[in-house]
Amino acid sequence: MARIFLLTALVALAALVSFADAKPGKVIEPRGGEIPLSKHEKKKQPGFQIHHKHRAPATLPPSFDARTKWSQCKSISDIRDQGQCGTCWAVSSASVLSDRLCIAELTAGKTPSQTYVSALDIATCKDSSRTPDQNCNQGGNTANAYKWATIQGFVTGGNLNSKVGCKPYPVGNDGPMPLSCSKSCTNSGYGKSPAQDTAYVDGYWTSYLDENPTQAKIQENVVKMQQDLYANGPITVSMRVWSDFSSWKPENGAYRGPGPTAQRKEGHAVRIIGWNTDKNGVKYWMIANSWGVGDQWNSRGDKGVYWIEMGKNVVGIEDSPTAPIVVMPNTCTGFCDSPITQIVHLDAKNLNSPAYAFSGNCTTQVTVSAGGKITPVGSPQPIAKVFIGGPAGPITSWMGANGPTDPLWIINPQGEAGNCLPVSGSTKVDCGRGTATAGAAAQTMVGSDKIAYYNDQKEFLFTFKGGSTSGSGAYIGDGIKTKFAQVNSMVNIDNANVLLCGLDTAGKTACATMKVSDKSVSQPQPIRSLVTKC
């Protein structure tokens, strides 16, 4: 069953105005529900990454409507309704996931399955510490919805009263209601169990602006948003709702921010489906809101779609775009002819913990046996599909990984780092983002000692007692220099032997074993001869 991550509980929001109090000419909007991430949390998110196969054109069109470009995808034109719960973040992210799944099917030449992702499942099924009332009222963040859709998956579920999918959305406009995480499908007529219904995405990206961003930074985010929207489909953004936004109509032109008497409301998450220019020449985003299309008294914007000025960060619309990556192409064919840049255990002191080999932008879990044989566990995958939120390859160094709760830091030459821990019950590894100095090109743990080879001092090999990396290094011989021009990776085989991989003296990719006792190195062999299943 899907498990979707929610932020920790916050103080309950203010009481709602009952929809029954609504009168002609008065619009009662649902409560807000987008909770901004802290600065620390933002830094841990994966940055902008447009889909590899679908690059946007160098020149973007003056107007664009995803509903027209992908007219076969019904979900893009659909306006969901969050009812009187603060679940805009779950409803908007479920909508974007549905849109992009359909677009991915079209791109692959398939007939769209018209899958609707369950907003109820996203809103309820990760944080068991939250009460059903809190699931309705306390909100969340779209980035975390995509993160856990990547790691734990999601189930299907349509709109209110739709009886579509495993878990349709149950909240209407009569008032808030408790939302519980069900371990079975709430739609009794659905023919699958949640386990059979669970699907996954490949990754996600975010692009957060700092407080008071410059116009140049705002425009940079605008281009990213347009590129990804044009190439891959709708995206989610957060915004700050003001009281006069609820009464916006298309004849007013683009909404350009609150008027002088407007009152600020809670944060809100919405879905961007395109852009255009109004009659006054103002460029605007088309946002599909999650307030439904209206009732017999009031319409909601332009049939549920609102226009917000583009390029000025009006109401924070360009502050924090997020989007999932669906069907990332797998260009990883294996390690047999590629240089291995790093092999490391998730817990470097535990040889029974999973080991991963990295090559370029690819990784696969491996086992390393006596004699240095490398056996892949499954097929190589893009790093971003396994180490969720981790840095781009090549991964050339690591640190940490000194126990099951101490994260493994994987680092690329640009100093981009991920602090990564395995996800219980999943084949994924969850990584926060950070920065670090790219240290040793190759290192491993032998008992409590760390052996490290430094790429900026190719003739030296050091051992560090107790894992220390300062003041206790010792030169341990010339064995490597006679066999390798460069060592990229070391991994402990059995506390008596270490596998070295890199470039041999002829400049070809190769691996060899080194005895820990006397530091003698075997003759390097081509990686193809050491990797099984080539």
- The tens digit of pLDDT for each residue in 183-221 reads 999 998 898 999 899 988 989 999 999 888 999 999 999
> pLDDT per residue over 39-66, tens digit each?
888 888 888 876 655 566 668 899 999 9
Domain 342-530: give its CATH superfamily: Hemopexin-like domain (2.110.10.10)
Query: ∠36-91-122 over CA atoms, to 5°?
Result: 80
Centre a 10 Å sphere on the Cβ of residue 209 and count the other Cβ atoms it contains: 18
Using an 8 Å Cβ cutoff, are 442 and 453 in contact?
A: yes
- Distance of alpha carbon 284 from alpha carbon 289, whole angstroms: 15
Angle of helix 88-107 relative to helix 142-151, nearest 10 degrees, comes to 50
3-state SS, residue 209: coil
Residue 395 DSSP class: P
Token couple for 261: 């008497």
- Distance of alpha carbon 232 from alpha carbon 474, whole angstroms: 53
Overall size of the chain counted in residues = 534
Question: What is the side-by-side order of every strand in the sheet holding 416-422?
Answer: 387-388, 429-435, 416-422, 406-411, 397-403
Question: Regarding predicted confidence, which is higher, 256 or 371?
Answer: 256
Which has the closest alpha carbon to 115: 76, 85, 147, 89? 76
The upper half-sphere exposure of residue 456, i.e. CA atoms within 13 Å in the direction of its Cβ, equals 5
Mean pLDDT, all residues of the chain: 84
Residue 406: the pLDDT is: 80
**b or e along 495-529 (b: 16 or more beta carbons within 10 Å of the residue's beta carbon)?**
eebbbbbbbbeeeebbbbbbebeebebbebeebee
Side chain identity at residue 204, one-letter code: Y
Residue 78 DSSP class: -
Long-range contacts: 446-452, Cβ < 8 Å, 24+? Answer: 446/492, 446/495, 446/498, 446/516, 447/495, 448/349, 451/476, 451/490, 451/498, 451/516, 452/490
Residue 258 DSSP class: -
> pLDDT per residue over 114-125, tens digit each?
999 999 999 998
Res. 134 pLDDT band, cuts 50 70 90: very high
Residue 262: the pLDDT is: 93
β-bridge pairing 509-515 and 497-504? antiparallel
By percentage, how much of the chain surpasses pLDDT 90? 45
**Residues marked as catalytic:** 88, 268, 289
Using an 8 Å Cβ cutoff, are 158 and 164 in contact?
A: yes
Calculate the CA 504 to chain-centre distance.
Answer: 37
By percentage, how much of the chain surpasses pLDDT 70? 85
Residue 18: the pLDDT is: 34
β-bridge pairing 429-435 and 387-388? parallel
The burial class, CB within 10 Å (0-12 / 13-18 / 19+), for 389 is buried
Residue for token pair 């879905």: 271
Residue for token pair 């940055």: 47
Calculate the CA 354 to chain-centre distance.
Answer: 22
Using an 8 Å Cβ cutoff, are 303 and 277 in contact?
A: no
Using an 8 Å Cβ cutoff, are 411 and 417 in contact?
A: yes
Question: Regarding predicted confidence, which is higher, 48 or 4?
Answer: 48
Residue 330: the pLDDT is: 78
> pLDDT per residue over 452-508, tens digit each?
776 555 555 666 665 444 445 566 567 788 888 888 888 989 888 999 998 898 988
Query: ∠488-494-495 over CA atoms, to 5°?
Result: 85
Using the predicted structure, report yes or no on whether residue 444 has a pLDDT greater than 50: yes
Question: Three-state SS string across 486-532, please?
Answer: EEEEEEECCCCEEEEEEEECCCCEEEEEEECCCCCECCCEEHHHHEC
Q: Report CA-CA distances (Å) from 82 to 79, 93, 99, 151, 510.
A: 10, 12, 17, 25, 57
Token couple for 23: 């009168």
Question: Regarding predicted confidence, which is higher, 266 or 20?
Answer: 266
Residue 103: the pLDDT is: 93
Res. 160 pLDDT band, cuts 50 70 90: confident
Using the predicted structure, report yes or no on whether residue 107 has a pLDDT greater than 90: no
Calculate the CA 215 to chain-centre distance.
Answer: 27
Give me the residue spans of the domains in the chain.
19-325, 342-530
- Distance of alpha carbon 349 from alpha carbon 402, whole angstroms: 6
Q: Is the peptide bond before 394 cis (omega within 30 degrees of 0)?
A: yes
Which has the closest alpha carbon to 204: 150, 152, 153? 150
Question: Regarding predicted confidence, which is higher, 525 or 24?
Answer: 525
| Backbone phi and psi for residue 66, each to the nearest 5 degrees, phi listed first | -60, -30
Query: ∠243-245-248 over CA atoms, to 5°?
Result: 135
Using the predicted structure, report yes or no on whether residue 6 has a pLDDT greater than 80: no
Architecture field, domain 19-325: Alpha-Beta Complex (3.90)
Q: Which residues, at least 6 apart from 188, have a Cβ–Cβ distance to it below 8 Å? A: none
Handedness of CA 207, 209, 214, 215 (dihedral sign): positive
Residue 35: the pLDDT is: 87
Res. 8 pLDDT band, cuts 50 70 90: very low
Of 92-106, 198-212, 315-329, 346-360, where does the model show the most confidence?
A: 92-106
Token couple for 312: 């000025």
Res. 16 pLDDT band, cuts 50 70 90: very low
- Distance of alpha carbon 396 from alpha carbon 147, whole angstroms: 25
Using the predicted structure, report yes or no on whether residue 294 has a pLDDT greater than 80: no
Mean pLDDT of 403-425: 85
Query: ∠271-277-280 over CA atoms, to 5°?
Result: 130
